Amino acid sequence: MSHKLPLSDSNHPAWAFGRYALLMMVLSVVLWQNASNFDMTEIRSLVMMGAVMLGWGVTEKVAQKKLKESDDD
């Protein structure tokens, strides 16, 4: 059964995307400000941090779903 979450719900996917986008923007600015020249090493850092953040988000959602399923039993 599928139901839509209201945007005001903190579990709405838009909030996860917003947090991800905000963190990536902040990280980009920090790397740009601290780098003598913004090159491939900073791009690699952004890609790695993005992958870690997405992996963490997916792991968190899967864990929440499994916890909810175990609570329903």
- For the stretch 2-43, pLDDT in tens is 667 777 777 777 888 888 999 999 999 999 999 888 899 999
Predicted confidence at residue 17, as pLDDT, reads: 86
Q: How many residues does the chain have?
A: 73
Residue 57 has pLDDT above 80, yes or no: yes
Specify the residue for token string 């909030």. 15
Residue with tokens 């947090």: 19
Q: Does 45 score more than 70 pLDDT?
A: yes
- Examine the pLDDT at 1 and tell me if it is beyond 50: no
Sign for the pseudo-dihedral over CA of 25, 53, 57, 2: positive
For the residues 34-62, what does the mean pLDDT come to? 90
Closest CA to 50 of 12, 71, 22, 72: 22
**Residue whose tokens read 């968190």:** 60
What pTM value is reported for the model? 0.69
In three-state secondary structure terms, 19 is helix
